[in-house]
A and B are shown apart, each in its own frame.
Chain A
Amino acid sequence: MQEFAMDSFLTPDLVRAFWNVAVGTLGGVACSLLGCFLILKRMSLLGDAISHGVLPGIAVGVLLTGQIGGPAIVIGAMVFGVLTALLTEVLSSACKVTEDASLGVVFTSLFAAGVVVISVFLSRYDLDPSCVLLGDFTKAVLVTVDWFGFEIPRALPNLLLTLALVVAFIGLLWKELKLATFDAELSSAMGFPAWLIHYLFVALVAACSVATFETMGSILALAMLVVPPATAHLLTDRLVTMLLWAAGLAFSAALFGYLLASQWVFGCNVAGMISVVAGGQFLLALLAAPRHGLVARLVRHWRLALRIAGEEILGSLYRAEEKGQPPAAVELKEHGLSPWLVWLAFARLRRRGWIEALSSGFWRLTAAGRREAEAVVRSHRLWEAFLGQNFELPIDHLHAPATRIEHFIGPELQTELAAQLEEPHTDPHGKQIP
């Protein structure tokens, strides 16, 4: 009875979905964790190169052992991954080839060699170069092995092993890795050889690409190495948080990628859909990230512009009052502010109760508005006095810099300036400092 209930709940579809998402998540998380360090080292393209360059290693592994899977191809791939990085390094440092060109030459050559080896010597094996590049989720999940009585996808043991290796590597070498990532020279000077950590890291990236190759293919491996970490980089400035974000994003890309591919766009390539979802997540973060997102930056920029425009208006009204003129908005054109920004700033000041409308086009400061305006004008004139006292500037050169900086002098700096100037009463133009 129990068994029957389980069977009816665990439909083949659900089991397949579970394994698909699990396989995608394991590979994606392993790649994304490593990718964070690649992004920070500005070496993302090394990931691209390695994920292509391991192909001959895989081919040689299969050629020697006669089986796809198992440790041989992982070791072969790690050797060729390190070789890719090493050859690139030698070409660019010793042979005067530019860095990008050496990367391009090395990985395309290695990949081509891998394809030729596979198609000439390994045509009888079930190893298709296009599958290596593009991956075939559905097929990879269907090929299962027996593991302590459970039926699991063939790719799973390698994926689990790789993820464990990656987590162990990051956990054990956390301090060293952090140091080598952010300051390789300091790390070497302190006795932690940055190059050794780098090549260990490269070997792990290679292991990741090979563990994922039959499920995700090298293109998705690259997507997971670059896209979730880059998204995480937009979301946070802390390394631990970045790693967690990257892992979470890799999981959600695998989940929603699979759901989209299986439910919506029938029969489309799952690996491709996962990288598209990862790209969508990146786009979302690019727009909506709290600090580095485009919208947040636009809003910050806007609020600053609005505040500056408001302070310019307050300042002009104050000066006009001082001279006993009827104040008008026209003067503000001098400051190069666009009319609609001025209009918005007027509306904002009015809402705050700092100015009130008199008759058509004329405005007056309220008591609260006058206090705000005094602060702005005080900053301006204190700065003029400071410049006049400390720098040999002609008197007509004091106004412009003060106009720019008046918006950024807070109450503290005002007190400091006043103290240093011994509480002046007038600015160099003879105007009173409020």
Chain B
Amino acid sequence: MSFDLSYNEALVLQGASLLGASSGVIGCFAVLRRRALTGDALSHAALPGLCLGFLIAGQASMLALLAGAAISGVLGIGIIAGLRRWTRIKDDAAIGIVLSVFTGLGVVLLSVVQGRPRGGQAGLDSFIFGKTAGMIFQDAVWITILALATLLIVVVAFKEFKLVAFDPGFARVQGWPAFAVDFVLMLLIVVAIVIGLPAAGVLMMAALLVIPGAAARFWTERLHVMLLLAGLFGMASGAAGTFLTMIFVKAPTGPTIILVASLIFLVSLLFAPRRGVMARSLERRQLRQLLAPPA
């Protein structure tokens, strides 16, 4: 059985794999810093900026869209932090408020954009669900550049990221610019989300940031192994999901990629050595036998 990929299919395959890899890697830090849902809020918060970028730049220029999304994403994160710091609103409610109000605003702007003549061509509504199969050369180039840049930054600043991810207080005491490092980490998450939105959609970006990292956590106690595994898991989900939808044409690509990632998570959850469910129940049984009084 041989597969002859068309040029476009190869493009989508490469884009989805790279997207999976970079968001898997950067998502590890979100998972470790217990910010898994901040990624969710962020990807929703990027929506109004995306639309404003379109309204201002006039045409679907990728740079304007990305800049708009990044600005409104950062604004959303800032509001969450501000509400948590200065009001009686708790973390969970702050995330919920930003997520729903920004999405509402995005939807309003989206319908305004689409109401304009020829606005529908922008395909802005695909930002919500993603149009992986509709990826064009320009999208793939952006994804490649930004994904590689993200990976490069993670490699270069590995030590700092590691410190801040596990013990920001200690990092501050040691004189590291913990806040700046944290901000860069956040910014990388924003970048991952923003480049992924056009291809993958809001929900899939939230999923790709959390699931590979959470799955990788089962297999190892070492950060670099976790990053590597999460990157691999993300890449595999992206590639396999895209591939599956090429065979079953009816299923949308984004959700299929998420389901592949969920499958990887499930396998990790059950079969990972030491932290997996099977390994732990085996260990518990051995312990019980060891502790059982002799008959």
Binding site for B on A (CB under 8 A): 39, 42-45, 47-48, 52, 91, 94-105, 108-109, 111-113, 115-116, 119-120, 123, 129-130, 133-134, 219-220, 222-223, 225-227, 229-230, 233-234, 261, 265-269, 271-276, 278-279, 282, 286, 292, 294
Contact = CB atoms under 8 A, between A and B. Distances in A.
Interface string B232-265: 0000000000000000101110111011011001
Interface centre among B206, B252, B255 (most CB of A within 10 A): B255
Given A45-B37, A116-B251, A234-B89, A220 B129 contact: no
A101 B129 CA distance: 21
Contact of B107 (A94, A113, A134, A286): A134
A108 B89 contact: no
Contact of A219 (B107, B115, B248): B107
A42 B90 contact: yes
B16 interface: no
B207 A108 contact: yes
B100 A222 contact: yes
A222 B202 CA distance: 16
B275 A44 contact: no
A48 B104 contact: no
Interface string B31-45: 100111101100000
Interface residues of B, number: 59
Nearest to B214: A101
B213 interface: yes
Interface stretch (B91-99, B150-158, B186-194): B91-99
Given A279-B101, A292-B88, A112 B107 contact: no
B104 A275 contact: yes
Contacts of B207: 104-105, 108-109, 112
B96 A225 contact: yes
8 contacts: A45-B95, A97-B269, A105-B207, A109-B262, A119-B255, A129-B252, A276-B104, A292-B88
Contacts of B37: 45, 48, 100, 103-104
A223 B44 CA distance: 13
B81 interface: no
Nearest to A223: B100
B277 interface: yes
A44 B101 contact: no
B105 interface: yes
Contact of B97 (A98, A99, A101, A226): A226
Contacts of A134: 107, 128
A100 B108 CA distance: 29
B203 interface: yes
B88 to A, nearest CB: 5
A279 B115 contact: no
Contacts of A226: 93, 96-97, 100
B31 A98 contact: yes
B103 interface: yes
A278 B277 CA distance: 43
The prevalent SS among residues of A at the interface is: helix
A236 to B, nearest CB: 12
Given A105-B214, A108-B203, A112-B262, A230 B125 contact: no
Given A266-B115, A275-B104, A119 B251 contact: yes
A102 B262 CA distance: 11
Contacts of A268: 108, 111-112, 115
Contacts of A265: 108, 112
A104 B89 contact: no
Contacts of B88: 233-234, 292
Contacts of B128: 130, 133-134
B6 interface: no
Given A108-B204, A222-B99, 20 more contacts: A45-B37, A91-B269, A97-B217, A101-B34, A103-B36, A105-B262, A108-B210, A111-B258, A112-B254, A123-B250, A220-B100, A225-B96, A226-B97, A230-B93, A233-B93, A274-B104, A275-B103, A275-B107, A279-B97, A292-B88
A54 B252 CA distance: 19
Contacts of B93: 39, 42, 44, 226, 229-230, 233
Nearest to A108: B207
Contact of A271 (B36, B107, B211): B107
A229 B100 CA distance: 13
B7 interface: no
A43 B91 CA distance: 10
Contacts of B112: 265, 268
B39 A272 contact: no
A351 to B, nearest CB: 32
B135 interface: no
A104 B210 contact: yes
Interface in B164-214: 203-204, 206-207, 209-211, 213-214
B15 interface: no
